[in-house]
Structure 1
Amino acid sequence: MGSKTLDGEKLNRCVVVAANVPILADSLERTKQNWIAKANSITDLILQVGHSSFHLHKLAMVSRSEYLNRLVFQRGCNRGSAGDNLIIRMKNFPGGAKTFELVAKFCYGWKIDMTASNIAPLYCAAHFLEMSEDLEEGNLISKTEAFLSFLILSSWKDTFRILQSSECVSPWAKDLQIVKHCSEAIAWKAISCENERHLNMQACKSKTSNSGIENKADTWWFEDVSLLRIDHFIEVIQSIRRRGMKPQLVGSCIEHWTRKWLSHVTLGLDNVTPIPITLQLHRISTECLIGTLPTEENSVTCNFLLHLLKVGVMLKINPELLCVLERRIALMLEKCRVCDLLVKNQGDKDSLYDVTVVLRVLRFYVCGISSNPSAKIQTVGRLVDGYLTQVARDENLTMESFKSLVEALPQNARNCDDILYRAIDMYLKAHPDLIEEDRADVCRVLEHHRLSQEGRQHVMKNDRLPLKLATEFVLLEQVNMARSMTNNGSNYQRTHAQTIIRVNKDFEKRQINAQEIKMMSKDVETMKSQLLELNTCKIKLQKQLKRCIW
């Protein structure tokens, strides 16, 4: 078996005929929705399958089908009459009229082609009609079962064709274990190839270490599995997990299927309101996927889980499952990178990245750290600050969303606010139309003592900041300089809280304009130079005094 999909594979087929045919017919002619068996004797049985009618002979059909035998010779609610003909209506016949045409031809002894595309409906139809060996040796159940087993055991590609053809006869295919046998065959082949490739890679490890080739070899089966419907896909995944496939590969396969089938939900391509059944199918699919995710650490990426959480919120899935996702992502935050948090929106009026889904996880994380003494909240603080610098440039990001992200973590999550200040400055630069009150609201979290000296200098020169904040920083810097200078030779004492109170009172007493702030900034620079000279002089005096003592 190759390591990639076998698109050009020749189809397996089987031609079967029935032996000991009681009635011979020349042909089965079709007129609109009617099939009529042409023979020397007239037809005496009408079988209605859906909107189609088959005019056949009782003896030909009851000799192969126990089900029809009972209906013909016993009274039943599905019987009727049309002249000398007996009418039997068969509801929910597996495969419909197309499959029943093959069954009728088999009963008349004509050759029928069995392929991977029709074997599942034909096998289910044979069981529906109870065409077993008890009636006739070589009946349809035994022939379809033999060919079905051959296909499942011998052909990777045909196994998927069987699963896809089983969709139209889903309840029967599940009850007769067609889906289970196909899933186990796929799992066995995927595991076998994966183990074989692992051994080959180990043998060739000394010759080459191309991880790209190894990853491609590990995931060769993803594309075929991603063609399956959700219920068949889940069955395959469960079979693969039972056989011991690596959790990382299982998680990657689920991600591959999800991005393919739910892409129009995650990427916002539903421009037209979908019909309710489509939304319901997406909701059920998402809930099934969450329940199937491997629980091992690093088996799925944080970014994929965020996308899945976004879809779950949009589709309003079970709140308990949303909580499961939020908790799992929150536990991964301390090992995440900024790129792991980037979940794109696609609407023209939406922000570039979906920040609401990240905000949900952050709030969940903050609620959980109170009961977790080993939480590395400062690591998450650095992660969030980096994320803020990524989203701050977005012109469509609302002030409420940005503020919520800034305030999501407690104050002890940051030792220094320099990166946070840079993110706020980037946001103000990308939103020049914000009024003074809004800019002040965004900058409310910034505090003088939590910024580095370089950060404070930048604040005092930044004309994008609200005037009140810049003024407070300049005044506080003046007070600090004055305190540093006087403390070198006086008993000047003032607490930080007293300083802030004084600055605020000074600010309320007078309105300071931008020109005054510039002058005050120059005074601060002058005071710094004087303080530096004073410290230099102090060091020289200390050295001279030391030499005199010695």
Structure 2
Amino acid sequence: MTGESKVCWKNMVFKMHTQNLCPPGEFTVSFQLPDPIDHRNLSCDFGSDGIFEGIVKKNNRFVQTKIPSDLIVEIRDQCFHLHKLSMVSRSGYLNRLVFERNGNNYTRFQIDTIPGGAKIFELVVKFCYGQKIKATASNVAPLYCAAHFLEMNDDLHQGNLISKAEAFLNYVILSSWKDTFRILKSCESVSLWSKDLHIVKRCTEAISWKACSDTGVNHFIEVISLIKKRGILPEVVGSCIAHWTKKWISQITVSQEKSKDQELSIQLYRMTTECLIRVLPAEEGSVSSNFLLHLFKIGLIMNVDAKLKNHLKTRIALMLEKCSVKDLLVRNSTTVFDVDIVVQVVQAYVSLASNNPKSRMFVVGRLIDDYLALIARDENLVARSFDSLVNALPKAARFSDDNLYRSIDMYLKEHPDLTEEERRSICRKMEYHKLSQDARTHALKNDRLPDNIRTQFILLEQVNMTRLLTSAGSSYQRTKSETIMKFSSGLGKSCMNSSQKEMKAMKQEIEMLKAQIGELQQRRMELQRQTKKPVFC
């Protein structure tokens, strides 16, 4: 109510509306703002000069320049009034957004997904305008993630924010324990970005490296306990333990000679392994199943406490339904991969799944069949190990035996010197009715299968062909009872090693039955065509 029609303040222009003065006494003043406000952010008062003043507090950020802003960036409830030239020269992301709206002198964007939010973006703005920013161990990780989000690389401007933040990040990570912990804590707010940019991995490697270089396992356990107390994510704790364990394993040397020094070393290794198992975070997904398998193998070698071994084995078993074949690969000295530890874990899973109606055993069945196909080509894999894994799962774990048949056939092909008894044991879990027609046809001609399995499959195929012929109305003379007798006698002979001549004759009979079925199907089609022809009287 100063009388001016327009009032300029910083970069804003206000158009004033005045009314005649009211008579003495109480009066009201009303005015309209362009946007809704919270009454708690409004303060009104008469100044000493008698001018009524209303101040509205809003979350607007202005860069103090004489040039009007032509770019507004909104991050949730905060607005940044900026200048295109300063921002797009450093940010590839903003550059694209601005030029997609080519021709607009005044541009406004809503960006809510920037890592670190408005607080970190304010630091980015200061950097773009050439101002000094205060980077700390608590904000450097979100700042680095935000720089990547905004694509602030050196291709746009030499010494851009990505390279600056990365240099500071590396310095801080290697400088002290406390700063590394602060960085890890700050990663929780930008977890996905910090994981993709390997910030968490670098921190955990630094912590593990410092722990390894300082003292042994006792000091490392203290470090892990400190990390847990500071509320660091379980995944980070698990990564630290896995990285430290990997380095520790590479330093283990076990001699075949028995001596006091060797016994003391084994005792120390056993204690270290037990400490590592005890300190593992219990949260799901905090450590990988592959790492736990490696740790389980060390526990078996060092003969750790039975309760700890069973606890570790049970934990891995509970993770099997979410595992891939890659998760089960553990290198071995005599074979390419250690199959025996996988057998133990699968057996533990079957024991748990039998009492859990929600278990998805067929998922584990498919996983193990794929694993069998991978290890089948190992020339040094003994039949006992392969057989144990094939038979570790019950028959109900597989809807189809096609993958199992392929794995077994591959193993038999790579190991031609197996005894007949070994081949029978490996093949005993295969069921004829769970094989597809292609797999059955292949199995009937497969000389690598043991004689009893081939004989059984041939007889079952014979029974199926007979049933098809009987249901189709063939003149085939064998009765159902005769078929069953033939099947029973065939099984009896298979137990006494049926001769190759008998098997050949059975195959010929099956081929004859198939030919008769084909002929019947052709006749049926011909009859259907004839019935469709029009009849004229």
- Which bracket does the TM-score occupy, shorter chain normalised? 0.5 to 0.7
CA distance in 2, matches of 1:220, 1:351: 31
Whether 2:293 is the aligned partner of 1:306: answer yes
Where do residues 205-354 of structure 1 align in structure 2 (5 Å cutoff)?
211=196, 213-214=198-199, 216-221=201-206, 222-227=208-213, 228-263=215-250, 270=255, 275-346=262-333, 350-354=334-338
* 1:190 is aligned to 2:180: yes
Q: Residue 510 and residue 374 in structure 1: after superposition, are their counterparts in 2 closer, same or farther (change >3 A)?
A: closer
Could you report, residue by residue, the CA deviation over 1:400-447 in whole angstroms, capped at 9, with x for unpaired residues?
A: 222111111111011111111112112212211122233223222223
Task: Indicate which of 405, 413, 424 corresponds to 1:440.
Answer: 424
Match of 1:418 in 2: 402
The separation in 1 between residues aligned to 2:484 and 2:209, in whole angstroms, is 64
State how far apart, in whole Å, the 2-side matches of 1:421 and 1:201 are.
44
- The 5 A counterparts of 1:129-168 are none
537 and 322 in structure 1: CA distance in 2 versus 1, 3 angstrom threshold: same
Contact 2:321 2:364 in 1 (8 A): yes
User: Which whole-Å deviations, capped at 9, do the CAs of 1:5-44 have from their partners, x for residues lacking one?
Assistant: xxxxxxxxxxxxxxxxxxxxxxxxxxxxxxxxxxxxxxxx
In the alignment, the residues of structure 2 paired with residue 402 and residue 493 of structure 1 have an alpha-carbon distance, to the nearest angstrom, of 39
Q: Does 1:427 align with 2:411?
A: yes
Aligned partners of 2:343 and 2:392 also within 8 Å:
yes
Distance 1:264 1:494 in 2: 70
Write the distance in 2 (CA, Å) between the matches of 1:299 and 1:497: 57
Shift of residue 498, structure 1, vs aligned partner: 6.6
Partner in structure 1 of residue 469 of structure 2: 485
Deviation at 1:472, TM superposition (A): 2.7
- Is the partner of 1:237 in helix, strand or coil? helix
Going from structure 1 to structure 2, the CA distance change for 1:317 and 1:548 (only over 3 Å counts) comes to: farther
Find the residue that maps to 1:445 and give its secondary structure: coil
The residue that corresponds to 2:10 in the other structure is none
Q: 1:470 to 1:264 in 2, by over 3 A?
A: farther
| Residue 474 (structure 1) shift | 2.2
Q: 1:262 to 1:510 in 2, by over 3 A?
A: closer
Corresponding residue number in structure 2 for 1:530: 516
Aligned mates of 1:195, 1:405 — CA distance in 2? 43
- Letter in structure 1 aligned against 2:297: K
1:474 aligns with 2:461: no
Matched residue SS, 1:226: helix
**Cα RMSD, aligned residues only:** 3.3
Change (3 A) 1:541 1:357: same
Of the structure 1 ranges 271-280 and 413-422, higher mean CA displacement relative to structure 2 is found in 271-280
| Alignment CA distance shift 1:508-1:311 (3 Å) | closer
Q: Which runs of 5+ in 1 are unaligned?
A: 1-153, 160-185
Aligned to 1:52: none
- Cα contact 2:195–2:201 (8 A) shared by 1: no
| 1:370 positional shift | 2.3
Identify the residue that residue 154 of structure 2 maps to in structure 1: none
State the identity %. Answer: 43
Shift of 1:372: 0.8
Whether the 8 Å CA contact 1:359–1:404 is kept in 2: the answer is yes
Q: Is the 8 A contact 2:399 2:434 kept in 1?
A: yes
> 1:226: Cα distance to partner?
3.4
Relative to structure 1, the CA distance from residue 323 to residue 499 in structure 2 (aligned partners, 3 Å threshold; closer, same or farther) is farther
State the Cα distance separating 1:278 from its structure 2 match: 1.1
What number of residue pairs does the alignment pair up?
359
Alignment correspondent of 1:34: none
CA distance in structure 1 between the aligned counterparts of 2:183 and 2:483, rounded to whole angstroms:
69
Residue 27 of structure 1 aligns with which residue? none
Distance 1:495 1:545, change over 3 A: farther
Q: Deviations over 1:37-73 (max 9, x none)?
A: xxxxxxxxxxxxxxxxxxxxxxxxxxxxxxxxxxxxx
The answer to whether structure 1 residue 398 and structure 2 residue 382 are counterparts is: yes
Residues of 2 paired with 1:324 and 1:340: CA distance?
19
Q: Give the distance between the partners of 2:328 and 2:495, measured in 1 at CA.
A: 42
Q: Which residue of 2 aligns with 1:96?
A: none
Pick closer, same or farther for the CA change 1:426–1:382 going to 2, 3 Å: same
Q: Which residue of the partner structure matches residue 104 of structure 1?
A: none
The structure showing larger relative contact order (alpha-carbon pairs under 8 Å, at least 6 residues apart) is 1
Partners of 2:231 and 2:533 in 1: how far apart?
A: 78
SS in 2 for 1:416: coil
- 1:191-238, CA deviations, whole angstroms, 9 ceiling, x for partnerless residues? 312344666888xx6xxx992544544545232233341111111111
- C-alpha distance 498-214 of structure 1, shift in aligned 2 (>3 A): farther
Distance 1:372 1:485 in 2: 44
**1:471 touches 1:512 (CA, 8 Å); kept in 2?**
no
Structure 2 stretches of 5 or more lacking a match?
A: 1-170
Superposed displacement of residue 533, structure 1 = 3.5
- Structure 2: which amino acid aligns with 1:463? D
Given candidates 448, 456, 461, the residue that maps to 2:440 is 456
The one-letter code of the counterpart of 1:255 is A
CA drift of 1:284 comes to 0.9
Under a length normalisation based on structure 2, what TM-score does the superposition of the two structures give?
0.60
What is the identity, as a one-letter code, of the residue corresponding to 1:528? Answer: K
| TM-score scaled by length of structure 1 | 0.59
Whole-angstrom distance in 1 between the partners of 2:336 and 2:330: 9
